[in-house]
Amino acid sequence: MIETPYLLFLGDAPDPLAAKVAQGIRDWRPDNAVGQFRMEGCKADMKLPDMTLEEARAAGAKTLVIGVANRGGVISPAWKEVLIAALEAGFDIASGLHNLLRDEADLVAAARAAGRQLHDVRVPSVKYPIANGEPRQGKRCLAVGTDCSVGKMYTALAMDKVMKERGMKSSFRATGQTGILITGEGVPLDAVIADFMAGSVEWLSPDNDPDHWDMIEGQGSLFHVSYSGVTMALIHGGQPDALILCHEPTRTHMRGLPGYQLPTLEALRDLSLQLAQVANPACKVVGISVNTQHMGEDEAVAYLQEVEDRIGLPAVDPFRHGAGRLVDALAEV
Amino acid sequence: MIETPYLLFLGDAPDPLAAKVAQGIRDWRPDNAVGQFRMEGCKADMKLPDMTLEEARAAGAKTLVIGVANRGGVISPAWKEVLIAALEAGFDIASGLHNLLRDEADLVAAARAAGRQLHDVRVPSVKYPIANGEPRQGKRCLAVGTDCSVGKMYTALAMDKVMKERGMKSSFRATGQTGILITGEGVPLDAVIADFMAGSVEWLSPDNDPDHWDMIEGQGSLFHVSYSGVTMALIHGGQPDALILCHEPTRTHMRGLPGYQLPTLEALRDLSLQLAQVANPACKVVGISVNTQHMGEDEAVAYLQEVEDRIGLPAVDPFRHGAGRLVDALAEV
């Protein structure tokens, strides 16, 4: 568990896209971020107050979160200087970078000297159990996709936000690096040992109030041969009561797999539901979330209507039109 | 890769069942075992020559394989004495025990001093790639089960043996500890990091002669919620051309999951084939392997006939009646 609130470190981000972790925190947990720290040449801006380390500490920030991708897979000397000063100023540091904070001897030494934590959220810090498959109290929703990177995390976060606004009980349950940094906790599922994948999802989503929803972040796709085992573990460990189908209609092939076509939404619906009902016979598919970012408004609206008519479930782009209709559908379960 | 041939260490096995790893090597790769080493009170016997360490070295043995489960999860002082003497005599040591050889400081020191290897086959020793899903030359067969521990490894080994006897090109590809110790190589799939599971199976079963069969050891079950993600990775990473359905008809519930019923063979057939065809549209289900150990001969024969009539595929118990008919079916693919 990462201590909040955060100071968002944007470093020398070459463009706004490089700071997508910071953007996710800004968009979904604005209360978690008291300010931003930008270095010379930084091209990203979260529209948060620019703060020195001292100002951020005075404003209550407990953890410096690396909200930006690094260049060339190394933590540069310029970054190091800031990170070491942050540790000395009393910050923990949290990172989802591929190269780990704990592998940097100078950061480890500075953290030890200051009595601070280095959180590498790509690496599991918990000894997860083997899944036992027992039913748990409370409700669970999982987004599953026709492909990777079609908007599953966005959908779960957008639904969670609407649910909270409506006074429903909801928790976003992060299963990836960005989600973990946004919420401060979760399971880095793609880094979990095979035997413990489903168990880690059970651990992530324990018993809860009967009217509480866990909005579990999806990963991969049952139809993506590189990562389908991870998706399977989410479906069986998550025991979802409700599935949301996610799709990006302009993809010409599965992400990173030029030889593989995307499945139809109907194929995704039928396969996901069959597998989910092994763990939870009451599971239902309740809605469809479409990422229409590569379509014009008219085209997007027409596409969503066509899908809705064809499949008979609410079909929305939560970015364009909000997640309200998906939450309406969930409230019926 | 573990150097062969082996000396099989049976320790102080309290009963023959405790030595099932040694029995597997004895049954399936008898040429890999030059002898056995038994301590006082050992109740297991592989009907191999009892040898001292020196005799086994003289007979060519290169690796001492721990072929027996240890008691209470510790490597006892009595074992240690033998293992250290073995390292000093020039043996490598291979183990599938839960507690690792590499965690025992005295074994590590003795191995280093003697310049020998400690192989903990539960721990991956390779940095596996992410699966790329590209078709590979050669043919692959995978056994999938209605449950865990229904005879998938046995089926693959029995078919591999018949294929070799017939002069077909075949390799058993181990994905579990016992299989790895039997053949000396493989992937400990249940210990692989989630993102690399399917890639490790691709690595295990690379391009080969067009008429060569990889007999890939199955793991878990698509219907076993604790391990289904591992099975999924085998199906998508393995790209099987042929599936064998495995079943144990007297199970009253899924192994370790009292609340879960076994699926029908038809449900296993349909789901496995659908998933396998994502990676290999030409995949076929070719036969059924039934573990009838808890049935009498008449009952077993009647059951197999009923399954064969119902499903329309050859149904055999390879332990009782041999794997020949399954290999006949494979040869048609």
Q: pLDDT, tens digit, for every residue of B107-161?
A: 999 999 999 999 999 999 999 999 999 999 999 999 999 999 999 999 999 999 9
- Average pLDDT on A103-126 reads 97
For residue range A122-147, list pLDDT tens digits in order: 999 999 999 999 999 999 999 999 99
Select from A226, A233, A275 the Cβ nearest to the Cβ of B133: A226
- Chain B CA closest to residue A233: B229
Q: Could you tell me the pTM of the whole model? A: 0.95
Query: Structure tokens of B244?
Result: 């064998």
For residue range A45-66, list pLDDT tens digits in order: 999 999 999 999 999 999 999 9
Do B226 and A198 lie within an 8 Å CB cutoff?
A: yes
The pLDDT of residue A267 is: 98
Percentage of the residues of chain B whose pLDDT score is greater than 70: 100
Do A236 and B229 lie within an 8 Å CB cutoff?
A: yes
Percentage of the residues of chain A whose pLDDT score is greater than 90: 97
- Average pLDDT on B315-329 reads 97
Whether A73 shows a pLDDT value over 90: the answer reads no
Work out the minimum CA distance from A121 to partner chain B, whole angstroms: 15
Which phi and psi angles does B204 have, rounded to 5°? Answer: -70, -25
- Chain A CA closest to residue B123: A193
- Residues from chain B that touch A202, judged by Cβ atoms under 8 A, are none
The pLDDT of residue A71 is: 77
- Average pLDDT on B303-321 reads 98
Percentage of the residues of chain A whose pLDDT score is greater than 70: 100
- Residues from chain A that touch B204, judged by Cβ atoms under 8 A, are none
Whether A228 shows a pLDDT value over 80: the answer reads yes
ipTM above 0.90, yes or no: yes
Query: Structure tokens of B224?
Result: 């076993």
Residues 6+ apart with CB under 8 A from A1: A184, A185
Q: Write down the residue that tokens 């079950």 correspond to.
A: B221
For residue range A286-308, list pLDDT tens digits in order: 999 999 999 999 999 999 999 99
- Residues from chain B that touch A276, judged by Cβ atoms under 8 A, are none
For residue range B65-118, list pLDDT tens digits in order: 999 988 777 899 999 999 999 999 999 999 999 899 999 999 999 999 999 999
Which class for A135: exposed (0-12), middle (13-18), buried (19 or more C-beta within 10 A)? exposed
Contact A246, A221 (CB under 8 A): no
Whether A329 shows a pLDDT value over 80: the answer reads yes
The pLDDT of residue B71 is: 78
Do B194 and A230 lie within an 8 Å CB cutoff?
A: yes
Whether B212 shows a pLDDT value over 90: the answer reads yes
Work out the minimum CA distance from B280 to partner chain A, whole angstroms: 10
Interface residues of chain A, partner chain B, Cβ below 8 Å: 130-135, 189-195, 197-199, 222-223, 225-233, 236-237, 254, 256-257, 259-260, 271, 274-275, 278-279
- Residues from chain B that touch A130, judged by Cβ atoms under 8 A, are 226
Q: What share of chain A is helix, strand, coil (3-state, %, to 5)?
A: 40, 20, 40
- Average pLDDT on A60-86 reads 93
Question: In 3-state terms, what secondary structure has residue B141?
Answer: strand
User: Sign of dihedral through CA atoms A133, A135, A138, A143?
Assistant: positive
Whether A158 shows a pLDDT value over 80: the answer reads yes
- Residues from chain A that touch B134, judged by Cβ atoms under 8 A, are 259
Residues 6+ apart with CB under 8 A from A22: A8, A9, A10, A33, A36, A44, A46, A65, A67, A68
Q: Tell me how far the alpha carbon of residue B199 is from its chain's centroid.
A: 19
Question: In 3-state terms, what secondary structure has residue A7?
Answer: strand
Work out the minimum CA distance from B145 to partner chain A, whole angstroms: 15
Select from B225, B231, B236 the Cβ nearest to the Cβ of A133: B225
Work out the minimum CA distance from A232 to partner chain B, whole angstroms: 5
Which phi and psi angles does A170 have, rounded to 5°? Answer: -150, 140
For residue range B18-32, list pLDDT tens digits in order: 999 999 999 999 999
- Give whole-number Cα distances, B146 to A126, B154, B223, B311, in Å: 31, 15, 7, 15
The pLDDT of residue B243 is: 98
- Residues from chain A that touch B271, judged by Cβ atoms under 8 A, are 274-275
- Average pLDDT on B224-236 reads 98
The pLDDT of residue A263 is: 98
- What gap in Å lies between CA B140 and CA B205, rounded to an integer? 8
